[in-house]
């Protein structure tokens, strides 16, 4: 898959929430693009600001508590400065969204048909009958058995996987150019997960939809994404192609997530037993009180640079930059060139040992 | 209806809330708010704080009623009948020339005594029943809770009236009647909390090391059930004071010549066009006391019982 | 309840006959009322007759209990339904508005109002209303009941104050319920799905918030209605409203067993019927409970 024209361009997105414990900087300057037909995976622990960053795009955060700044161009139009009425039109028609829990993301007291039809009719002057047949067609497309009959059923009469298919059908009902899947497979069991991922990939190929796939499951990322963006403390700490990020992680956090850094993956126990990988000790920093330097510093086992504690490292090219940048020195050996021509960037002062993955 | 209805920030899945990675040992036994934290939480809730201070004041007045009241409850001054409020009689005098301020002050102890007795009865009996029903389950649960449901389903005022009809009027019987009415609520709240923790790891663990039922009930289960019971106590006190007033108003509760707020209201009712202060001040006293207990209950609920397990004893007057 | 009623101390026959009576008339009345029979037997006789609609004869007035209850029923029904109407008219807008703007001024004011309504003694509020509207202003009569068939104007005038008093109390309870139920609905995931679909705000609100939030309201309204129907004794006394609560109180005071039993039986029936209606309504409006 190649990235075509960008569908979405996010620039310096910042979200600040008002909380009882003071202002919380949940997203701090996030920039990325999603091309047509491209899948960008956003990964991170809970509390890293992944969901908030996409809810902010569609204006789904409560205006009373959330301040969103930056730019987010959906096909050239800025979502963040859009008139509320125009934003409403864009929701569903420009960007569809699939949420985490199919058990709760459908209204339990309305029929499946009604919930599809109201979405279709909100975006065009369609008769009820036409909207209904379009709804049935959508349900067939997402692979629901007996789509006609399903229209008159209620969510509780369907299994979790089937419900998620319905949610996907709703998200796709107005052929949006962008699909946002917020932990769309997390609540499903593994076989259903695979089916849903296949379904979305298939639909994406067919319609050329750009996809933002939010997850904390790196296995899913490897299967579906073209590019990966690793979020931590409301920042992008590393991004690049799937191969770059998953196989040659540059940021200590990413390496911790992947369990490729033995220091991070919990030390060997006193009985000589090696514990399971990918457990990073400690908690993400509270967004009300972010560290002054590198966001990962409090949990970082590397801390190889004096600037770590005091200065936030910029997101710099790790492996393709011809010269300059703090990572330039280690660049030559790492880059194998996947053809996508996309830079692999990371926000860290410590890039030594990227290749080997272990620092002795 | 402007502005999109949107979820509370706390509900977004990604706002920092969960604490993954805490050691499993620490989470075995859930942390409970300690009394000092509760007090500080209450202090942050100005309404509840003001209500507590007022309540304290009411209790002090009730305890030292004889000392504070300017006149005796039944000092009859026929010459001073139906005096409107003045410096000498701030709340006026009634049809027998008794000082209403004094009677309101003296009535505080009657109302509060009945309230505390009633809720104390409901608290002890209801909590015991709830503990037994929840802990032993099976037929014990069935029998006890079926009986409680029957009591609960019955209109509260009528149940109290029926109890008073059996036992005869008077303060002690009023307390008993109200206590019986509120017993099922405590039983339910307690039982629900017990069911919530009965199968928790720490309870099963202490059972497996041979702790006695009594020890498990008092050391593990009761403390967990305490927050909703405390909240329920405050709210029930509000309704008990209200119920005592209502029953005395109907002539079934406190008997004359004792000064009870409900009774004073009933006596003042006949003079309402002539001398409004007879009914107004005792009513105000009931209202303020009940309001304070309710506000304190709300504050406690916010502080202690974020999951809102407490039943709203609404309408059960 | 039958047992409880019979434990009431005091001899009803003595009360019915007054202070001067002969032993013969005492025994005669005792036999006529069946009070000389053992308690268990009395119960089965009463229960058998109750099934056929015969609740016995009042000791005090000599009328049949059924006719006494039938006489009081219209007043009680009128007051109960008027009150629940007042309650809902207060509660739904107030609860909704405060849920839409939690912790705002509107919310705080609504909370104060509902806290007031829950804490205020209803009889005191009734007395104050009488003082103001019947006394000082002289707009409304201070109490009584006129059937609507006789004079609708007078009926409404007399209904207003008692319905307002009981409606404010019930309404305050329901307001808090609407608020929390609405907050829960507002925070639910499917509302976000509806917004993400691009539905107009009003449509999201009506179909995905309001509809879901008001479903559980059926239960609370049912509970409140049962409470109102079972006699708001105190308010009936304050407004001289000839309802069932008043009848029950008079029966207790006069040890009029048959009337008290009849009233209690009626309340039990009312309670069951309302529960049934609530269940049926739920099956009709909530697809999750069907079948």
Token readout for A13 is 């997105």
Min CA distance, A64 vs chain C (Å)? 9
Which stretches of chain A score pLDDT less than 50?
1-3, 261-270, 272-277, 321-340, 354-360
Per-residue pLDDT tens over the stretch B61-119: 777 766 666 666 666 666 666 666 666 666 677 666 677 777 778 788 888 888 899 99
Residue C131, in any domain of the structure: yes
Q: Give the closest-approach CA distance of C11 to chain B in angstroms.
A: 12
Is the separation of the CB atoms in C95 and C89 below 8 Å? no
HEC string of chain C equals CHHHHHCCCCCHHHHHHCCCCCHHHHHHHHHHCCCCCCHHHHHHHHHHHHHCCCCCECCCCCCEHHHHHHHHHHHHHHHHHHHHHHHHHHHHHHHHHHHHCCCCHHHHHHHHHHHHHHHCCHHHHHHHHHHHHHHHCCCCCCCCCCCCCCCHHHHHHHHHHHHHHHHHHHHHHHHHHHHHHHHHHHCCHHHHHHHHCCCCHHHHHHHHHHHHHHCCHHHHHHHHHHHHHCCCHHHHHHCCCCCHHHHHHHHHHHCCHHHHHHHHHHHHHHHHHHHHHHHHHHHHHCHHHCC
A119 part of contact set with chain C, CB < 8 Å: yes
- Residue A102, number of CB atoms within 10 A of its CB: 28
Residue C67: inside a domain: no
Q: Which residues of A touch C192 (CB under 8 A)?
A: 55, 60, 99, 105
Surface of B (218-257) touching C: CB under 8 A? 238, 242, 245-246, 249-252
For residue C132, being part of any structural domain is answered with: yes
* Confidence (pLDDT) at A273: 45
pLDDT of residue C32: 57
Nearest to A282 among B7, B13, B21 (CB): B21
Q: Do C183 and B8 touch (CB under 8 A)?
A: yes
CB contact under 8 A, B4 and A59: yes
My answer on whether C29 and C130 are in the same domain is no
User: Which chain B residues have a beta carbon less than 8 Å from that of C92?
Assistant: none
Contact B7 C127 (CB under 8 A): no
In a shared domain, residues C21 and C164: no
**Is residue A59 within 8 Å of residue A88, measured between CB atoms?**
no
Long-range (24+ apart) CB contacts under 8 A made by A289-292 are A290/A25, A290/A28, A290/A233, A290/A234, A291/A233
pLDDT tens figures, B26-35? 334 444 455 6
Which of A79-88, B243-252, C1-10 has the weakest average pLDDT? C1-10
CB-CB neighbors (< 8 A) of B2 in chain A: none
Residue C214 CA to residue C88 CA, distance in Å, equals: 11
CA distance C265 to B85: 48
For residue B57, what is the enclosing H or E element?
A: helix B46-63
Which residues in chain B have their CB less than 8 angstroms from residue A23's CB?
A: none
- Which of B12, B17, B21 minimises the CB distance to A55? B12
Going by their DSSP bridges, the two strands A316-317 and A345-346 should be labelled as antiparallel
| Residues sharing a CB contact under 8 Å with residue B27, sequence separation 6 or more, in sequence order | none
Which residues are registered as beta bridge partners of A78? A73
Q: Which of A58, A130, A70 is nearest to A95 (CA)?
A: A58
Q: What is the value of pTM for the model shown?
A: 0.73
Q: Does residue C86 surpass a pLDDT of 90?
A: yes
What mean pLDDT comes out for the span B32-54?
A: 68
Q: How far apart (Å, rounded) are the C-alpha atoms in residues C178 and B314? A: 13
Please identify among residues 148-177 of chain B the ones whose CB lies closer than 8 Å to any CB of chain C. Answer: 153-155, 157-158, 161-166, 168
> Do the domain assignments include residue C57?
no
Question: For the CA atoms of chain A, what is the radius of gyration?
Answer: 21
Q: Do B9 and A19 touch (CB under 8 A)?
A: yes
For B143, residues 6+ apart whose C-beta sits below 8 A from its C-beta are none
State the smallest CA–CA distance between residue A48 and chain C in angstroms.
20
Chain A interface residues (partner B, CB cutoff 8 A): 17-19, 24, 26, 45-52, 55, 59-63, 65-66, 84, 100, 182-183, 279-284, 286-287
Percent of chain C past pLDDT 90, that is, above it, reads 3
Q: Which of A24, A46, A50 sits opposite B20 (nearest CB)?
A: A46
Which tokens sit at A159?
């299994």
Cβ distance of C237 and B166 shorter than 8 Å = no
Nearest to A62 among B9, B17, B20 (CB): B9
Give me the total of CB pairs closer than 8 Å, taking one residue from chain A and one from chain C: 85
CA distance C149 to chain B (A): 30
Tell me if C197 and A106 make a contact (CB, 8 A cut-off). Answer: no
Contacts of C286 in chain A (CB under 8 A): 109
Instruction: Give the model's confidence band at C89: pLDDT under 50 very low, under 70 low, under 90 confident, else very high.
Output: very high
B290 interfacial to chain C (CB closer than 8 Å): yes
Q: Which one of A118, A170, A177, A184 makes the best mutation probe of the C interface by having the most chain C beta carbons within 10 Å? A: A118
**Cβ within 8 Å, pair A170-C215:** no
Q: A touches which chains (3+ CB pairs under 8 A)?
A: B, C
Residue B53, token pair as written in the block: 């201070």
SS3 A66: strand
Task: Say yes or no: C86 and C126 in one domain.
Answer: yes
Counted residue by residue, chain B has a size of 317
Strand order in the sheet with A210-215: A95-98, A178-182, A210-215, A39-43, A227-232, A235-241, A345-346, A316-317
**Cβ B225 vs Cβ B190: under 8 Å:** yes
Total beta-carbon pairs less than 8 A apart between chain A and chain B: 57
**Whether C143 and C233 share a structural domain:** yes
C126-143 per-position pLDDT tens digit: 888 888 888 777 777 777
Nearest-Cα residue of chain B relative to residue C238:
B269
What residues of B are in contact with residue A21 (Cβ under 8 Å)?
Answer: none
- Considering its fold, how many domains does chain C have in total? 2
**Are B6 and A61 a contacting pair at CB < 8 A?**
yes
Separation of alpha carbons A354 and A238, rounded Å? 13
CB-based contact, A255 to chain C, within 8 Å: no
Give a yes or no: residue C144 inside a domain. yes
Touching check for B26 and chain C: CB below 8 Å?
no
B8 to chain A nearest CA, in Å? 7
Residues C177 and C110 in one domain: yes
- Among B8, B12, B16, B303, the strongest candidate for a mutation testing the A interface, having the largest count of A CBs within 10 A, is B16
Nearest CA in chain A to B7: A62
Residues of B in contact with C253 (CB under 8 A): 251
User: Mean pLDDT throughout B185-211?
Assistant: 77
| Domains of chain B: residue spans and CATH | 57-315 (1.10.3720.10)
Task: Residue C103: list chain B partners with CB under 8 A.
Answer: none
Mutation target to probe the B interface, by most B beta carbons within 10 A, among C106, C110, C117, C119 is C119
Of the listed ranges B38-42, B108-112, C30-34, C104-108, the one predicted with least confidence: C30-34
Domain that holds residue C124: 73-285
Q: Give the minimum alpha-carbon distance from A93 to chain C in angstroms, rounded to a whole number.
A: 7
pLDDT digits (tens, 9 = 90+) for C167-180: 988 888 888 888 88
* Residue in the structure block whose two tokens are 């037997």: C41
Residues C43 and C78 in one domain: no
Domain match, C129 and C198 both: yes
Neighbouring chains of C at 3+ CB pairs under 8 Å are A, B
**CA separation for the pair A3, A15 (Å, rounded):** 27
Q: Which CATH superfamily hosts domain A6-94+174-346?
A: P-loop containing nucleotide triphosphate hydrolases (3.40.50.300)
The pLDDT value given to residue A272: 46
Domain boundaries, chain A: 6-94+174-346, 109-173
In a mutational test of the C interface, the residue from A94, A101, A105 whose CB has the highest number of chain C CBs within 10 Å is A105
Residue with the two structure tokens 């608290």: B123
- List, in sequence order, every residue forming a beta bridge with A227; answer none if it has no partner: A40, A241
């Amino acid at each position: 898959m190649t990235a075509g024209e960008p569908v979405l361009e996010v620039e310096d997105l910042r979200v600040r929430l008002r909380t009882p414990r003071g202002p919380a900087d949940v997203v701090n300057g996030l920039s990325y693009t999603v091309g047509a037909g491209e899948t960008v995976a956003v990964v991170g622990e809970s509390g890293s600001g992944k969901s908030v960053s996409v809810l902010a795009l569609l204006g789904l955060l409560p205006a009373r508590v959330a301040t969103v700044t930056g730019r987010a161009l959906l096909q050239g139009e800025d979502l963040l400065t859009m008139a509320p009425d125009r934003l409403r039109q864009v929701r569903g028609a420009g960007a569809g969204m699939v949420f985490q829990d199919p058990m709760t993301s459908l209204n339990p007291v309305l029929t499946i048909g009604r919930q599809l039809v109201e979405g279709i009719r909100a975006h065009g002057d369609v008769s009820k009958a036409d909207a209904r047949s379009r709804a049935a067609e959508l349900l067939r497309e997402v692979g629901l058995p007996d789509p006609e009959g399903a229209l008159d059923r209620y969510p509780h009469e369907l299994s979790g996987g089937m419900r998620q298919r319905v949610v996907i059908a709703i998200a796709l009902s107005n052929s949006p150019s962008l699909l946002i899947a917020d932990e769309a497979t997390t609540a499903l069991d593994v076989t259903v997960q695979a089916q849903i991922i296949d379904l979305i990939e298939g639909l994406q190929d067919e319609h050329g939809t750009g996809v933002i796939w939010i997850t904390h499951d790196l296995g899913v990322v490897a299967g579906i994404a073209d590019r990966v963006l690793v979020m931590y403390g409301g920042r992008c700490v590393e991004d690049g192609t799937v191969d770059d990020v998953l196989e040659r992680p540059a940021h200590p956090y990413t390496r911790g997530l992947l369990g490729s850094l033995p220091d991070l993956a919990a030390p060997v126990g006193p009985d000589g037993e090696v514990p399971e990988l990918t457990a990073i000790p400690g908690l993400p920093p509270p967004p009300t009180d972010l560290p002054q330097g590198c966001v990962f510093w409090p949990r970082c086992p590397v801390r190889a640079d004096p600037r770590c504690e005091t200065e936030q490292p910029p997101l710099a090219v790790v492996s393709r930059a011809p010269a300059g940048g703090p990572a330039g020195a280690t660049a030559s050996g790492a880059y194998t060139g996947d053809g996508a021509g996309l830079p692999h960037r990371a926000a860290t002062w410590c890039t030594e040992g990227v290749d080997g993955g272990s620092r002795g | 209806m402007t502005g999109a209805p949107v979820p509370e920030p706390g509900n977004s899945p990604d706002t920092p809330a969960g604490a993954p990675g805490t050691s499993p040992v620490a989470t075995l036994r859930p942390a409970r708010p300690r009394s000092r934290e509760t007090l500080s939480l209450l202090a942050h809730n100005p309404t509840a704080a003001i209500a507590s201070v007022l309540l304290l004041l009411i209790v002090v007045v009730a305890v030292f009623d004889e000392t504070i009241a300017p006149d005796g409850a039944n000092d009859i001054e026929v010459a001073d009948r139906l005096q409107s409020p003045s410096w000498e009689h701030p709340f006026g005098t009634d049809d027998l020339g008794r000082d209403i301020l004094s009677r309101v002050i003296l009535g505080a102890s009657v109302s509060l005594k009945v309230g505390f007795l009633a809720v104390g009865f409901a608290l002890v009996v209801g909590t015991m029943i709830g503990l037994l029903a929840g802990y032993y389950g099976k037929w014990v649960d069935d029998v006890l809770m079926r009986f409680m449901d029957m009591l609960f389903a019955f209109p509260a005022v009528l149940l109290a009236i029926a109890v008073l009809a059996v036992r005869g009027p008077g303060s002690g019987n009023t307390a008993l009647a109200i206590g019986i009415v509120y017993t099922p609520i405590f039983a339910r709240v307690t039982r629900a909390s017990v069911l919530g923790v009965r199968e928790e790891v720490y309870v099963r663990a202490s059972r497996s090391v041979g702790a006695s039922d009594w020890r498990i009930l008092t050391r593990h289960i009761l403390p967990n059930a305490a927050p909703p019971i405390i909240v329920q106590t405050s709210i029930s006190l509000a309704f008990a004071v209200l119920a005592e007033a209502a029953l005395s108003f109907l002539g079934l509760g406190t008997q004359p010549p004792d000064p009870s707020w409900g009774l004073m209201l009933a006596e003042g009712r006949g003079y309402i066009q002539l001398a409004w202060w007879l009914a107004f001040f005792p009513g105000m006293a009931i209202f303020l006391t009940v309001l304070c207990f309710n506000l304190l209950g709300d504050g406690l609920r916010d502080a202690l019982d974020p999951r809102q397990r407490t039943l709203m004893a609404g309408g059960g007057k | 309840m039958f047992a409880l009623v019979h434990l009431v101390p005091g001899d009803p026959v003595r009360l019915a006959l007054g202070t001067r009576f002969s032993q013969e008339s005492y025994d005669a009345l005792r036999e006529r009322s069946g009070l000389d029979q053992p308690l268990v037997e009395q119960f089965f006789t009463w229960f058998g007759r109750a099934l056929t609609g015969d609740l016995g004869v009042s000791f005090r007035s000599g009328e049949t209990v059924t006719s006494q209850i039938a006489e009081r029923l219209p007043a009680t029904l009128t007051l109960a339904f008027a009150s629940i109407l007042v309650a809902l008219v207060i509660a739904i807008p107030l609860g909704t508005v405060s849920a839409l703007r939690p912790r705002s001024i509107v919310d705080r004011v609504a909370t104060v109002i509902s806290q007031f309504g829950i804490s205020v003694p209803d009889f005191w509020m009734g007395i104050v209303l009488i003082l103001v509207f019947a006394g000082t202003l002289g707009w409304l009569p201070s109490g009584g009941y006129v059937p609507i068939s006789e004079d609708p104007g007078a009926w409404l005038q007399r209904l207003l104050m008692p319905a307002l008093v009981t409606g404010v109390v019930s309404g305050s309870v329901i307001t808090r319920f609407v608020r929390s139920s609405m907050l829960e609905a507002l925070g639910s995931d499917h509302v976000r799905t509806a917004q993400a679909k691009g539905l107009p705000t009003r449509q999201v609100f009506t179909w995905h918030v309001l509809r879901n939030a008001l479903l559980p309201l059926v239960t609370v309204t049912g509970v409140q209605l049962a409470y109102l129907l079972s006699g708001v004794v105190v308010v009936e006394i304050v407004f001289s409203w000839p309802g069932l609560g008043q009848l029950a109180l008079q029966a207790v005071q006069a040890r009029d067993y048959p009337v008290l039993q009849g009233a209690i039986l009626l309340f039990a029936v009312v309670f069951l019927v309302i529960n049934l209606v609530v269940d049926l309504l739920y099956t009709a409006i909530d697809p999750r409970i069907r079948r």
